[in-house]
Amino acid sequence: MTAKSAAAAPRATVYGYPRQGQSRELKKAVEGYWKGRVSADALRQTAAQLRHDNRQQLADAGIQEVPTGDFSLYDHVLDTTVMVGAVPERHREAVAADALDGYFAMARGTQAVAPLEMTKWFDTNYHYLVPELGPDTVFTADSTKQVAELKEALAQGLAARPVLVGPVTYLLLAKPAPGVPAGFEPLTLLDRLLPVYAEVLADLRAAGAEWVQLDEPALVQDRTPAELDAAARVYRGLGALTDRPKLLVASYFDRLGEALPVLAKAPVEGLALDFTEAAAANLDALAAVGGLPGKRLVAGVVNGRNIWINDLQKSLSTLGTLLGLADRVDVAASCSLLHVPLDAAVERDIEPQIVGWLAFARQKTAEIVTLAKALAQGTGAIIGELSANKAALASRADSPLTRDPAVRARSEAVTDADGRRSQPYSERTAAQRAHLGLPLLPTTTIGSFPQTGELRTARADLRAGRIDTAGYEERIRAEIREVIAFQEKTGLDVLVHGEPERNDMVQYFAEQLTGYLATQHGWVQSYGTRYVRPPVLAGDISRPEPMTVRWTSYAQSLSGRPVKGMLTGPVTMLAWSFVRDDQPLAETARQVALALRDEVNDLEASGTSVIQVDEPALRETLPLRAADRAAYLAWATEAFRLTTSGVRPDTQIHTHMCYAEFGDIVQAIDDLDADVISLEAARSHMQVARELAAHGYPREAGPGVYDIHSPRVPSAEEAAELLRTGLEAIPAERLWVNPDCGLKTRGWPETRASLENLVAAARTVRAELPAS
């Protein structure tokens, strides 16, 4: 590759960066503020320092245009709601009284006011707060945050580009506010919203912005002609403004498809497109529309969602093709680096050779800079980097870690019969009811109980050698005894052991399966202050020994009521890990399913009659384009059935899903052939119950009546009212009563009160049922 002319020298840039800090300083500051230990000024100072350090790290690495506005105290979509003045009516008083407390009230709720609904950001494990809009919504511009963060960057002497959620995506992500008549479409508010964006753009230009990025990932999904027309109208309108910066419209996570010609023709100065494997079709589509003559193209050639090193030579080939399709080509990651950990270099417990296969945010930044350098100066300028990259790729491909002949032979021997229960649901449900003897509207929880400071300290003490294994395990047994005793006293019907031994619902299993690697510092934001450490799925998967049996058996020995065995399902094990990219996901899922099948069978053999296999990521991982979904759902549901189909008819299989839009996958939920499913429903007011009923879902279901992502305690009457709503869609003989999700993040006082109210609600509604 020869050098690009100096007049159009490529720039290295990113769309966003991890927010938390090297030691999760943001999490600690925000949670400290909630608990009254950190002042508002101290929280703002911590946030400002993190933003400063992030920008400086990027600039020092060679990023020539840093993003601003991507940082958030909780969620960037909630920040957009504040920017456009779309604060829900029930939160306006709190926001007016104290903007910071009001902001967090929208995110978490208070005892008196419910929070905004939360769901997954496209097909990632990041959660955003859903805007609530109605025909009476009035938008007003508030660019305070966006302008202030731009000025911070400019004061550092950096070239900066503010990043905003685009108006089309914002409205397409929104939902009708509670009480709004059915049929209202938030996109009808477009003409009201555009003047607000125009005002924000003018403010940013006045503050010194040369470019502003408008993120429109919703346009990579299937869109109607009316929605595409709306996108065209938006960018004709914004492009025609005279008082504005240059506009860069960004998309990511998939191919733009029919939206690409719309944006290519729009009077904006640049487009940012994803050119990784998931969106490779963008390359041919861009050529088909004649490229972007006279415009800037930001090429996302470094995968912003996975942690494997980039194939530099392959990316350079893509970039070489793109050079002829735009006036200027810059280099970036495919999306914000929010979705990956900060720095692989600090991982001391992973072999150095394997660390060389990994690229977290800092390593991806270096890859982007290297590619931009090659684009500007020719490949001769990066000979050393290319050589090292080629060697690292070969090292991974040739490693024995990635191939286990026994695992592959077992996977190849799987038959269709291995994925089917021995009896259909209509027959086995009678056996389960006779075996378990549960009342109508049985009560249970999703699995985890509060992870107290004492439990975290015990784990830390074990790692540090301050206590031995025997001392640690006695602490776990004591916690299980307390959890079982509380559930029995409260009157729950199906118990759980509380999962005190588990650090995370994926990591716990990954640490006991071959083929997985665990990180020590690989934190990624899931929502708000909830950070997870996704394990790295690097090789073939097997289970050397039982993982959960002894703790579940111990809990069952303490009670005459059934205690659920709790596992994380194969799709979620993949979705919430950084998964190998050198073989089809379906093959990796089958390997994980076979390992989990062994655990399910061992749980049953030990006397466990109810086994829950959680699949909260089934919807999250659904491809964004409808044309790609059937193939995904086929292998995903097969993997679940392969996990669970080896048990007797009277063993009851549960699954759990949360915080996603389930209407798109009701048939797939049916295809799982689970006996009982529990789902998040409290914030969405039992929407999923209605969706299951509309589908004719024939099995048992527990739509949640307790929103566990809010600190508020629902009253017994509130839970009872949700149950009555659920009964309008699901008959009593098939309706379960449970929280939305696990209780790991909650404190014991609110957990006790909430579960006591949940049981009281079930008893109240049970008494209202007609006598059989």
- What is the spatial distance between Cα 640 and Cα 657, in angstroms, rounded to a whole number? 13
Please give the helix or strand (H or E) that residue 14 lies within, else none.
none
- What is the spatial distance between Cα 217 and Cα 251, in angstroms, rounded to a whole number? 5
Q: Has 76 been annotated as catalytic?
A: no
Would residue 642 be called left, alpha or beta, if left means φ above 0 and alpha means ψ between -120 and 50 degrees? alpha
- What is the spatial distance between Cα 617 and Cα 570, in angstroms, rounded to a whole number? 10
Name every residue whose Cβ is closer than 8 Å to that of residue 767 and which is 6 or more positions away in sequence: none
Please give the helix or strand (H or E) that residue 715 lies within, else none.
none
Over the range 515-533, which residues count as b (16 or more CB within 10 Å of their CB) and which as e?
bbbbbebbbbbbbbbebbb
Query: What is the spatial order of strands in the sheet that 536-542 belongs to?
Result: 514-517, 536-542, 578-579
Phi and psi angles of residue 745, each rounded to the nearest 5 degrees, phi first: -85, -5
User: Which residue matches tokens 């040369």?
Assistant: 210
For every residue of 413-469, which 3-state class applies, written as one string?
Answer: CCCHHHHCCCCCHHHHHHHHHHHHCCCCCCECCCCECCCCHHHHHHHHHHHHCCCCH
Please count the other Cβ atoms lying within 10 Å of the Cβ belonging to residue 225.
8
- What is the spatial distance between Cα 264 and Cα 380, in angstroms, rounded to a whole number? 33
The encoded tokens of residue 527 equal 């929502």
- What is the spatial distance between Cα 733 and Cα 492, in angstroms, rounded to a whole number? 17
Beta strands in 54-137 (DSSP E): 66-68, 118-120, 127-129, 132-133
Q: Is residue 401 within 8 Å of 377, Cβ to Cβ?
A: no
Name every residue whose Cβ is closer than 8 Å to that of residue 649 and which is 6 or more positions away in sequence: 421, 422, 423, 427, 428, 431, 432
- What is the spatial distance between Cα 684 and Cα 151, in angstroms, rounded to a whole number? 39
DSSP secondary structure string for all residues of 590-619: HHHHHHHHHHHHHHHHTT--EEEEE-TTTT
Name every residue whose Cβ is closer than 8 Å to that of residue 400 and which is 6 or more positions away in sequence: none
DSSP secondary structure string for all residues of 529-578: TEEE---EEEEEEE-SS-SSHHHHHHHHHT-SS-B-EEEE-HHHHHHTSE
Catalytic residue among 91, 339, 656, 709: 709
- What is the spatial distance between Cα 596 and Cα 568, in angstroms, rounded to a whole number? 8
The encoded tokens of residue 528 equal 């708000």
Q: Residue length, the chain?
A: 772
Query: What are the catalytic residues?
Result: 709
